[in-house]
Structure 1
């Protein structure tokens, strides 16, 4: 059983939330595979699932079904609208004090003003859900919660049905042998708008040389076609196995799955403390430990990459100064090494002001100079003119928030979308005055690799 509530205006939010009851029941279960629980929903909940695992592998989240959906097309007000509706909804929670917090999971598209026709047609500017069945694995323990959001005062019959379905899902995840998924079989690939991308890099570099911006991130996409339909559990299984150092995520909406393995935290809030990561400037991994160390050292001393990184550090520091009583930023970046690439990395942390929230931080931080550019307004204007694609959720904030305001958002890079037997992969890089088109093109090839490998594809570089 699965139902969905979807208010569309602020007036509806207030009136509807006042009538709704938010019931929760949580049980602890023997440790089970998060992917197996996700896959158990393939029949009944396909198109209404999500998966999340943090970079440290200390928190895993799976959602099946939709107890409540919050989505809107409110442009600059979209962050505030989500926050307002979530606050209104969570005032009506009926649960035991010891039970897990309900979690709202979803993301904001990169640019609500982008009107390019694409695989993102019909996708709202933000999309968040409360799962009907929520699995949380934390501190070596697993908890499954039922969420029922209803305007009925007597929910006992509905809850009985939900318990039966919960038990079926847990049984399927625990008892059925964990499936081993083969790689999809790629039939063809297309570098979409490759020539236009190369021309845009040259054009943007010229604009920057003429002082119209300091830095602009330009992205491109790659389409793959497969033999037969590719499933969400199939691709997520390979991403989970191959990218353990990253944030792992997947979110379905109807026929579209958006998934990835991002190295980059946008912001985390836990008990009044905020954490962010400045990740900008990159180089490939070496074939040997010696070459890897040499490339990393060159990156730490490279003026172009250090300049790109400094833009991000300054902007995130300014946001923390606005939202925190105090914060700290290391003076020099260090290296963040993941399977295919190494980045310049500077962590930032601070203590939040009493009225500051995670969604305010997301609003202030997005897009960082690592994904948009500097200055932000001018960079976004140039991206709209020069980038011949719709990013959708790519390079945008994706993550979760609980009823107490804790949560975490990653920047959804190293990502792809999947619809039936076609996948679209996304990658980009920061353009500055000295950027060269072929060098930037080659950098995107490195950034395509994580999702390309998970999908069984290969580029003829």
Structure 2
């Protein structure tokens, strides 16, 4: 089915009836089409077969579902969560299945560094073409937004112009391997050690009991980074993680493979993950089990996890009922790492929208610290870089559900620079060397998928 061109698929699609009771709100016209796929559909391969400036992708844990978008029909951005929520509510009053891809900065109220400026503190995109796979069920939608009153025929004609532009970006060229020229560590190893020692002093004095400190590595290449082949390699790994891709310009994309769900909504059902505490995977089953036992037996790692889990439980109690915690403190095994994991579930009380529910949980102590205000203040004071969207909420939402991951194990492709991020939770028994090693291991999620090794390409 995806071998057809987009114009052919549009002709097969039906105009989705508006559910609005009045004419207020965004002027979105939407065409939809669905079918059962007898064979697996390569959604990501289809998406990256285009070279359009705006591309979006999100896959559920273990690849249970995929959602992809091409082009930009409508963007909701700015620094006001309330205005964004109102615009989305108006959109979904008419088209509750319309999908918005996007997220927010780690600190939406702080000034962004230059490489993150185009993303803004909050940004969600309703794509021109939207493709979803849930098992063997495929759903395709075309979206056209206009602030003018258009007939159905006029809206379709305008959409056809956009589709022609998208089709013109299709390419069958092979991805070239980037050769990186330089590697910059921010902070340096010396700066990292100083941050950790400062954090330990604050913990010992009782100011905080945990702070998550991050660092980044900038890989500069001869040419612009192409995130598509890196993304394809990330998607090849079959473990319990999300894969996300938010490309907003030809040379600017935020992407990653993250194990941590910040929020899932299905109707009023809500689930939130608590993940903290880390060990590598073993070279064989015996060594893997040894690392698992070491992780569960470590007071330092267990306390780091329980700080996160208690925080999630407290926040869930404020906004949900019928709370369930399961499984408590199990092990989540990923390709290169394993973590202590607890999932919290319940039913969201009325009066909460997706964005204010996100704000209720973000940032969890898994990426910020505890107490939250003091930890975030220290992060802003000590980290020599601005996180931008790293460790912020990233995902999708409709009027019927949402899923957001925490944007860790991630990178920003910005022209010929690749910013690779990682963080580590600092508690009383932490030490600078082991935390540096932990962040190195976490960065391998991206660097391995990038085809990089210490021996490759430095000039």
Q: TM-score, normalised by structure 1?
A: 0.87
Partner of 2:58: 52
Alpha-carbon RMSD across the aligned residues, in angstroms, is 2.4
2:113 touches 2:388 (CA, 8 Å); kept in 1?
no
Partner of 1:234: 229
The reply on whether 1:308 has 2:317 as its aligned counterpart is no
Partner of 1:193: 187
Partner of 1:369: 365
Corresponding residue to 1:292 among 283, 288, 293? 288
The reply on whether 1:120 has 2:122 as its aligned counterpart is no
Deviation by residue 1:162-218 (Cα, 9 ceiling, x = unmatched): 357659968998xx87x7645433332121221222211111111111111110100
User: How many angstroms apart in 1 are the aligned matches of 2:220 and 2:105?
Assistant: 24
Deviation by residue 1:298-322 (Cα, 9 ceiling, x = unmatched): 1011101110111111111111111
Partner of 1:34: 43
The reply on whether 1:432 has 2:438 as its aligned counterpart is no
Partner of 1:87: 89
Partner of 2:17: none
Which range moves more in the overlay, 161-170 or 264-273?
Answer: 161-170
SS of 2:151's partner is coil
2:85 touches 2:353 (CA, 8 Å); kept in 1?
no
2:92 touches 2:398 (CA, 8 Å); kept in 1?
no
Q: Aligned-pair distance for 1:138? A: 1.2
CA shift in 2, pair 1:222/1:264, >3 Å? same
Structure 2 unaligned blocks of 5 or more:
1-5, 7-22
User: How many angstroms apart in 1 are the aligned matches of 2:314 and 2:231?
Assistant: 36
User: How many angstroms apart in 1 are the aligned matches of 2:261 and 2:90?
Assistant: 27
CA shift in 2, pair 1:357/1:114, >3 Å? closer
Corresponding residue to 1:154 among 140, 151, 154? 151
Deviation by residue 1:56-111 (Cα, 9 ceiling, x = unmatched): 3222111111111111123xxx2x33222200222244xxxxxx911011001001
The reply on whether 1:263 has 2:259 as its aligned counterpart is yes
2:112 touches 2:120 (CA, 8 Å); kept in 1?
no
2:225 touches 2:418 (CA, 8 Å); kept in 1?
no
User: How many angstroms apart in 2 are the aligned matches of 1:82 and 1:116?
Assistant: 19
CA shift in 2, pair 1:19/1:414, >3 Å? closer
